[in-house]
Amino acid sequence: MNGRVTGFLTGFVLMLTPLLIGTGAVLHGGPGVQSVRNLVFDGFQRLEPRTPARDGPVRIVDIDEESLKRIGQWPWPRDRIAQAVDRLNELGAAVVTLDIIFAEPDRTSPDQILAAWPEIRDQPVAALLRARSHDAILAASIGKAPTVIGFALSDDVPTAPPTTLGIAEVGLPALNFVPRFGGAVPPLPGLAVVSSGLGAVNWIPDRDLVVRRVPLVFGVGTTLVPSMALETLRVAQKATTLTLRATPNGINALRVGELTIPTDADGSVRVRYAGSAPAGTIPFWKLLTPGGVERAEIEGRIVLVGTSAAALGDIRATPLDASVPGVRVHGEVIEQILAGQHLVRPDFASGIELSMLLLGALAAIFLGRSLRPMQAALSVLALAALIWLAAWWAFTRSGFLLDPAVPSVAVGTTYLIATILGYMRTEGERRQIRAAFSHYVAPEIVRTISDNPGLLKLGGQTKPLTILFFDLRGFTARAESMPAEKVIRFLNAVHTPLTQAVLDERGTIDKYIGDGLMAFWNAPLDVPDHPGHACHAALRMAATLPGIKAALAAEIGETETPEAIGLGIGIHTGLACVGNMGSTLRFDYSIVGDSVNTAARLEPLTKVYGVPILVSEDVADAATGFAFASVDTLRLKGQARETRVLALLGTLETMRADLQLFLAAHEQALEAVKAGTPDAERLIGAAECFGSLSAQMETTYAVWRARLRAAGWAASHADHERVIAGG
């Protein structure tokens, strides 16, 4: 009982382990879990990327390789950038965002050349150079158009960040949650003061350097600053402030103008990429070419100026592309927010994942215990697929990021553990079956039952069986003078060869009865020709008698065991009930029925008729290849019907050639004895003339003669009574 309880508790703990680990992974995550989730969500995006609007609100002016070839090496004079800003302003751009950091003066500017060459300050050209500044030209262009310029955040410089707006906070301070930096690399003051907005261009890629999430707000010291994408949206809407709402769980919403943006706890958005969109990209050189860009392409749109040239180093990896210009990522964020196509991991995501995990694990345990292994495995696979389909549906319909990996792995692990425990339980049952039946049945039967437990019908079944009872004659009297230890040692020595004879003939030991035993055939598995197997076992058991006598002689210290030691075997075949019998606390695999009683009644008759093995007529009719000699027909104790009893002489292949002559003479003698004919004595004498064959029946013939004498005495006594009565 304790073992069962321990096994149950061990199994319970093992199956509970993946649930606990999965719950911890859902609630607390960790780098490993986050990496798996990233792979899953990346896969979802690759299967169904964001569908961009046909005539989207964002255009990219790309400083590409061709533009570098046409215009020259980077950095370009900033009057070229000013030309682009002016051109975009003329074409009606809603906002021009320069994804370029102007942290230092333009070295190609004439005023900077004059500063670098003081020896020409007194030359006539000096006044002309001093009057022309590319940075001033760019500042003038920026001041005429709604323009956003970028700056970089860094922990290596203590400079305070530039600001052009206020950020209103609702609830807890947002600085507790947003990414923090020590300082900033601001643009030139002359450019910053005339710009419509300033935004940070920083990225915070994941550990694999893929940009999946883009912060919209950063913290520098005690100041909140917007990202370039967020600042561009603010300027496009002509809003003056941003509003952040923070709770103990982090930032949960950000409002800019008329737009409400759902964010992660740190104020970032997960980008729902549409992938490369060449149709929304305009090469920089084309913008400066007269007639190169139509007004309809720019008017009313947000225009981002950036670079795709690999040499300029603004190349990023995204879930959809291994290399994407950074300006394209800014554009994707802006388009996503304007379209309202967000990717959000909602507050209830953990609750849904826990529900899928727990319900799926319980279902996996139920399926594993209720179905066949293949059916259960397919059902659990279908259950895991259902979890993935639910996550996919949430992604495609609502942009919700639900993690199917942790719940499905927990479900699969739970099923695997339940399957292993079930296998171990089955193996334990098989070991118990082997242990229980190895003492009673042949090894090949044990293997068959353990491999197919369903073949063993518990509770009892009625079927044809052959039953054998064995008893050792004369041992009880001899054992009275033996110490108990010697008796046990002797019995063990006796039962070993007897049991082996039964098992070798595919029989089952029912029980040991002192110096005897009871065995049966054809259960728990069907045994073809079970009467024949029982007869072979009986002959082998009879052949062990010399060894039994030698063992007894060794135990009692005699050189020769008295001839009083003998054996008796009774065999009958017929219907009997076989199964586990007893109580719920203790039971035995045994048989009951009238056939058992018949075999039990035959065994004591061997002492009466002086033959070692007696069988019923049913056995003699069913077993082929054996020599049987009829002994008598009599009514066994407790039975109303008469039973024909025969002696098993041996196998036909070992009998003498005159066996049939002997059996014919023997049967004639028996019929004469039954009829009480005058020549019965003579016929018995004729049957006794066959040497070793008739010697086996010596005691039987003596019984027949005694019956004839008793019948003769009874007849003469009856005549005497009639004479007296007549007188």
Per-residue pLDDT reduced to its tens digit, 598-621: 999 999 999 999 999 999 999 999
pLDDT tens, 245-292?
888 888 888 999 889 999 888 999 999 998 765 568 999 999 999 888
Indicate the range of 365-374, 628-637, 657-666, 670-679 predicted with least confidence.
365-374
User: What is the reported pLDDT for 719?
Assistant: 43
Name the token pair of 457. 């019908």
Q: How many Å apart are CA 701 and CA 610, to the nearest integer?
A: 9
Kindly tell me if the per-residue pLDDT of 663 is higher than 90. yes
| Interval 709-720 mean pLDDT | 57
* Buried residues in 286-319 as b, exposed as e (16+ CB within 10 A): bbbeeeebeeeebeebbbbbbbbbeebebbbbbb
Res. 724 pLDDT band, cuts 50 70 90: very low
**Kind and range of the H or E element at 579?**
strand 566-582
pTM: 0.62
| Interval 454-459 mean pLDDT | 54
Res. 557 pLDDT band, cuts 50 70 90: low
| Interval 100-104 mean pLDDT | 90
Average pLDDT, the chain: 84
Kindly tell me if the per-residue pLDDT of 3 is higher than 80. no
Domains of the chain, start order:
2-44+346-431 (no CATH), 51-339 (no CATH), 457-655 (3.30.70.1230)
**Kind and range of the H or E element at 360?**
helix 349-370
Res. 8 pLDDT band, cuts 50 70 90: low
Nearest to 328 by CA among 280, 288, 256: 280
Res. 438 pLDDT band, cuts 50 70 90: low
Q: How many Å apart are CA 247 and CA 253, to the nearest integer?
A: 10
pLDDT tens, 466-515?
999 999 888 877 777 778 888 888 888 888 899 999 999 999 998 988 88
Res. 134 pLDDT band, cuts 50 70 90: confident
Between helix 405-437 and helix 349-370 the angle, nearest 10°, is 20
Kindly tell me if the per-residue pLDDT of 136 is higher than 60. yes
Kindly tell me if the per-residue pLDDT of 681 is higher than 60. yes
Q: How many Å apart are CA 307 and CA 65, to the nearest integer?
A: 9
Q: How many Å apart are CA 360 and CA 384, to the nearest integer?
A: 8
**Which phi-psi region, left, alpha or beta, contains residue 457 (left: φ > 0; alpha: ψ -120 to 50)?**
beta
User: What is the reported pLDDT for 166?
Assistant: 75
Between the CA of residue 297 and those of 57, 285, 568, what are the distances in Å? 10, 15, 114
Strand pairing report for 213-215 and 268-270: antiparallel
Kindly tell me if the per-residue pLDDT of 87 is higher than 90. yes
Name the token pair of 420. 């292993």
User: What is the reported pLDDT for 15?
Assistant: 66
Listed as own residue / partner, the contacts of 79-84 with beta carbons closer than 8 Å and 24 or more positions apart are 79/134, 79/137, 79/138, 80/288, 81/138, 81/141, 81/305, 82/134, 82/137, 82/138, 82/140, 82/141, 82/142, 83/141, 83/288, 84/284, 84/287, 84/288, 84/305
User: What is the reported pLDDT for 415?
Assistant: 82
Kindly tell me if the per-residue pLDDT of 461 is higher than 90. no
Q: How many Å apart are CA 352 and CA 118, to the nearest integer?
A: 72
pLDDT tens, 15-30?
677 778 778 878 787 8
What number of other Cβ atoms are within 10 A of residue 642's Cβ?
11
Kindly tell me if the per-residue pLDDT of 117 is higher than 70. no
- Output 92 or 21, whichever has higher pLDDT: 92
